[in-house]
Every structure is written in structure tokens, then in C-alpha cells.
Chains A and B, each alone.
Chain A
Amino acid sequence: MIWSMLNEALEAMIANRMRSFLTMLGMIIGVGAVIIMSAIGAGAQEAVKQSIASMGSNLFIVLSGSTTSGGARMGSGATPTLTISDGEAVADLPSIAEVAPIASGMAQVIYGSNNWSTTIMGSTPNILTVRNWTIESGYSFTDADVRGATRVALIGKTVAENLFGDEDPVGKMIRIKQSPYQVVGVLALKGQSLDGRDQDDTIIVPVTTAQHKLFGSQFQGTVRLIMAQAVSADQMDEAENQMTELLRQRHHIRNNKENDFSIRNLAAMAASAADTAKVMSLMLGAIASISLLVGGIGIMNIMLVSVTERTREIGIRVAIGAHERDILLQFLLEALMISIFGSMIGILLGVGGALIAEKFLSMSVIFTSQSIFTAFGVAATIGIFFGFYPARKAAKMEPIEALRFQ
């Protein structure tokens, strides 16, 4: 019985090709939009996730703080108050896993006939762990290099491309501020940071080298900032409190005075960025769902027309023995068929559209089987939901009146 009904539903659909297609178009566009939007949304979320991961996880940035000199308040980092030994003390806290002090500045770098201006970061080998960075070729400098303030450098991908082109930089000598430095390794590609900076446009040298030989800071032994990585995500608050307490003690700050440093929780920033991306992808999905709803209303509309047109047919069927349930099922199957065919075409269209967006608009798109199944399931539900009212109207017809209909 169900097979012959399916067959009839198919024939009814084919008999009104143009109308079925136009009705389907609503579902096609709706499902297509949901698939495209959720693929783009998921892609954006993934991109944010990747840049968060590239930043390093559970990170704090401790900046040397603002001080007041002669009534004028300086901004964060204006006065270098943090030292390498502050970093070492922070590293001993139980809630902190790794610490990397950073003394950085801009400098012109020369190799052969090429030159390039970039950020020079003085740090310890720990920076690689903290920032979740890997070495693509060569090797990292060591703690011995830090102790000896040797002239060695790790260069980022962007710097390597600009200075060396296709040449292998490892082992080559570059000049930073006129002094020769040996490139010991090339950092792996990291891409853009959350705020859009190119993270590969950088050179890392031992922190002591930066302090004593490159930037010759006015307060010897200080650093611009300390990056600290907490043991785990749920110890972030504890780590922040412990660091604050420790640094206040070390800097001899009295209870009624403000901190001469500030601590930024990058994990919280990352979480809010991830939240924003999630809200955006939800909103895209919600907007696309509206077109799916409109498609469903289109189905209802056409099914109502179809029921009226086929009143006589319904009368005949009821007269020769069709139950209410048979008529209901028949019209419901027709609505369902339109929505299912529509959503299948819509899935193809959506996947195709998203792939085109990926190729030509260089957007990152991600398909999840979940989004495809959900779109399909919602489309089927819409078919049943919006098909039910017309089908019920058909099933409730009185046979005498239906037969009298011209």
C-alpha cells in the first residue's frame, strides 16, 4: 500500500513538473542556505580556534606597569619594572608551567643585498613551548646561549622569505644593527594572530643578547613583558592571584599602592573571540533557517491548491473505500517527497556553493555531517509539519460534496 502511494505521489509530482519544481525551489534555497551558512560559520569558528591555538594555550602576559613621573602617568610598559629574575620566580609558582621573558624591539636586518625591518624578540628557549611554536629546520638556541648572550637567531617564515628567498637560511649569517648573527633555525609557519598581525614576521634571539647587545635598555636586566603559561585552564585564576602576590612582594609594593605591572589573561580573550565566532555562526544559521521556513510555507500553499484542485479525486477515492488515514497519508507523502527531493538538491547546491566560496572568495568552509543531517531532518520535518494541514483538510472532506465538485 505504501509503495503504491509513493508511486502515486511521484506521479503527482511529475504531472505538475513546473509547480513541483517551483515549490521545491523554496526548499532548495532554504537547505542550500543553511548548508552554506553553517559551513562558513564552522569555517570561521575553526579559523578562530586555530589562531587561538597558534597563540599558545592558557597564557598570561605580564606587562611592566605604568608609573607616575612628575604627575604624568605613563602607559603600560612605559617603565621597565620586570626583570628576568621576576620571570624565574614566577616560573617556580606551582600553578605556572612555563615562563618566557621577552625584551623586544624593531630593527633592520640585512642578508646579502636584501634587508628587512622586523620585530626582534629576546627570549629564552621556553618561548617555543609557551607560544606553541615548532622549528621547521635547524634547531633552537639553548639556555647556554642565553647565559653566554651569544649572537644566534631563530627567524620566522616571513623574514626567511624576504631575506633568503629560496635559499636555506640555516647556518647563514645575517646582520642585525650592524652585528653579525648566525641563523640557527627557521620557525614553522603560524599565520595571523587574532588581531591580524603576521606572527611569522619576527626574529627570536637570546634575551640576554637582546638586553646587552641589541637594545641596550636604560635599565639593565629588565624585559618588556613576561609570558607565563598556567598548568591547566582551570588554574588560570589561581595562577593570576599567585603571580600578583609574588610580583607585589618582589617589587616591594605597599598594600595601598597600585601594581607596577599588569597581567592580561589571553585565555579569557581567546574565549570571548571564540564566543563571538560561535554567535556569528549561530546567527548565520538562524537567518538561513528563515528561508527554510519560507520554503515550508510554500509547500503548504501549493498543497492547499493541490487539495482543492483534486477535490473530486478525493471524493472518488473516499467513495470507493479510502479511509481518512489513506487520504492523509497520500497528501502527506506528496509534501514529504517535495521537501525531501528539494532538500537533497539543496544539499548538493549548498555544498557546491560553499566549495565555490572557498575557492574564489578564499573563505574557510567546514562541512559537518551533523549540519547536513540536520538540514535534511529539518526539511523532512517541515514537509510533514506544513503538509499536515492540507492533508488533513483533504482527509476530512465529505464524499458527497467532494464528488459534486466540478
Chain B
Amino acid sequence: MTDSVINIKNLTKNYETAAGVVPVLKGIDMTVSSGEFLAIMGASGSGKSTLMNILGCLDIPSGGIYELNGTDIKSLDKNSLASFRNSMIGFIFQGFNLLPRMSIIDNIALPLVYAGIPKEERIERACIMLEKVGLGLYGSYRPNQISGGQQQRVAIARALINRPKLILADEPTGNLDTKTSQEIMNLFSDLNMQEGITIILVTHENDIAQYAQSIVHIHDGKIDFSEPTNRMKESVK
């Protein structure tokens, strides 16, 4: 158990609406070990976004236990959650979510601002990350001056900069064409295999999910079934 990053037991989430309490997650059990590359799939309304929000510590579960890196999320208040996200989780969104007024370098370095890292170190580390995602020449550009694929690479660099335990990618290729999507997914695979970074990927595209090691299917607030991806099945053979 020492190398499990995520430990979830009987996780539930209810939303209170005018019509009454609506259960969205109905008891999920899940363990993610360090270095795993997991894809979560499910139709819209299945609860996968809610699960993603809870995994990302953006939302609090209604019941059950969620431990990230050994810490029970329920014990943290709003500001501690923010610090926790800052040091533990790197987010990658479908819409890239870069800040338009900032240069690429400043965007990448932003999590370090909130981590209280001094400026020179921030810039230095941001430059290294930029090299890593293959955009070394674009540091002073603004997000709207580069392509969607490049923007997503910047977002990946930003997610990685504070050396998180977990990368959460929510439909990272949703706004990209097939070729660029493949490039981005290869980058994820490389990061996972070469650097052992734990990645959880939410997608509704089977092709994309195949880059992971295993797929968890969510249906109606519960885990329907889990399966290894084709590439893992083949490597077992």
C-alpha cells in the first residue's frame, strides 16, 4: 500500500437541488498506484466529471474516504486544499485554460508563484519544463500566438512544474485534431513510462483511452468494470 497514490473507499457524492437530493456518485472503490496511467470513461451524466472534480480536490465528497498520497481530503479546509492541489496535482483541461495576458513562461511558472518560490528559480524551472515539452523557443509568446497543440503542451508543462504526485487530464485532446491528439498522447505516454508520473485521464474516446494502461468504465455513479487496454493485453501475451 505504500506506493498507492489514490485510495478511495465507498465514495459518494450527492447534489442538493430544488427537486431534492440527487445522488451522482453511488459508492466508488478505487486504488491508483504510483506510476499508473489510468483512463476513466463514461457517457455524459455518468458521474465521471464529478469523480474528476473530487479526485482533483476541487470538490469534497459527501461520504466515503478519499486519500491522496496518504492524506484524507476531508481534514482539509479551503486554503489547505488549494495548497494541497498546488503541490500534489497537475491539471490539464480540454480548453487549455492558459491565462491570455501572460507570457508562456509566466503561465508555466504560475503554480510556483502560489508555492512561494522566488522569481529566479521560477523562471529557471519554467524554462526547463518548456524544453521538455519541446517549445523552448516560445517562452515570450502569448498563448493566442501559438497553436492549440502547442497550448496544450504549455498546459502540460504548467501541470508538471511543481512536481505533482498526480496528473489529472480532463479530455485533454477534446479541442485538438487527430494528429495533434496523437502527439499529445505520446507525450503523456513518455512522461508516464520514462518518469513514472501517475496520470489519470478522463475521455470519451476509446482511441485516446488506449494510450493508458487500464480503463475504468463509469456508469450511473458506479464503476461498471475495469479492463487493461489493448496495449497492456498484448504486452501480457
B-binding residues in A (CB < 8 A)? 1, 3-4, 8, 11-12, 15, 312-313, 315-326, 399-400, 403
Contacts and interface: CB of A to CB of B under 8 A. Distances in A.
B82 A321 contact: yes
Interface stretch (B16-24, B52-60, B214-222): B52-60
A403 B83 contact: no
B78 A319 contact: no
Nearest to B80: A323
A400 B114 contact: no
27 contacts: A1-B116, A4-B119, A8-B102, A11-B102, A15-B101, A315-B97, A316-B97, A317-B99, A317-B114, A319-B58, A319-B85, A319-B91, A320-B85, A320-B86, A320-B91, A321-B83, A321-B115, A321-B162, A322-B114, A323-B82, A324-B78, A324-B82, A399-B58, A400-B53, A400-B59, A403-B58, A403-B93
A385 to B, nearest CB: 24
Contact of B113 (A4, A11, A312, A400): A4
B82 A318 contact: yes
Contact of A323 (B79, B91, B97): B79
Secondary structure of the A contact surface, majority rule: helix
Interface string B84-104: 011100010100010101100
B49 to A, nearest CB: 9
Given A4-B113, A399-B58, A400-B59, A320 B79 contact: no
B43 to A, nearest CB: 19
Contacts of A316: 97, 99
Interface string B112-136: 0111100100000000000000000
A311 to B, nearest CB: 12
B158 A11 contact: no
B114 A321 contact: yes
B76 to A, nearest CB: 12
A316 B91 CA distance: 9
A324 B83 CA distance: 11
B85 A321 contact: yes
B149 interface: no
Interface in B35-90: 53, 56, 58-59, 78-79, 82-83, 85-87
Interface residues of B, number: 26
B139 interface: no
Contacts of A400: 53, 58-59
B111 A320 contact: yes
A313 B58 contact: no
Contacts of B116: 1
What 4 pairs across the A-B complex have the smallest Cβ distances?
Answer: A321-B86, A321-B114, A320-B111, A323-B79
Contacts of B86: 320-321
A320 B101 contact: no
B114 A11 contact: no
Contacts of B99: 313, 316-317
B97 A322 contact: no
Contact of A312 (B79, B97, B110): B97
Nearest to A326: B114
A319 B168 CA distance: 12
Contacts of B79: 323-325
A12 B82 contact: no
A315 to B, nearest CB: 8
Contact of A12 (B53, B101, B113): B101
A283 B103 CA distance: 50
A146 B56 CA distance: 104
Contact of A319 (B56, B101, B115): B56
Contacts of A319: 56, 58, 85, 91
A3 B119 CA distance: 10
Contacts of B53: 400
A399 B93 CA distance: 13
Interface string B9-30: 0000000000000000000000
Nearest to A406: B95
A399 B119 CA distance: 26
Contacts of B119: 3-4
A15 B56 CA distance: 31
Nearest to B78: A324
B154 to A, nearest CB: 13
Contacts of A399: 58
Contacts of B162: 321
Give the one of B58, B82, B86, B93 with max A CB within 10 A: B82
A7 to B, nearest CB: 9
Contact of A11 (B87, B97, B101): B101
Contacts of B91: 319-320
B113 A1 contact: yes
Nearest to A316: B97
Contacts of A3: 119
Nearest to B59: A400
Contacts of B97: 312, 315-316, 403
A46 B96 CA distance: 65
A299 B143 CA distance: 29
A322 B58 CA distance: 12
Nearest to A315: B97
Given A1-B116, A323-B82, A323-B83, A317 B110 contact: yes
Contacts of B110: 317, 320
Nearest to A322: B114
A321 B111 CA distance: 6
A1 B97 CA distance: 22
A374 B101 CA distance: 35
Given A4-B119, A313-B99, A403-B97, A320 B59 contact: no
Counting chain B CB atoms within 10 Å of each CB, which of A12, A321, A326 scores highest?
A: A321
A322 B82 contact: yes
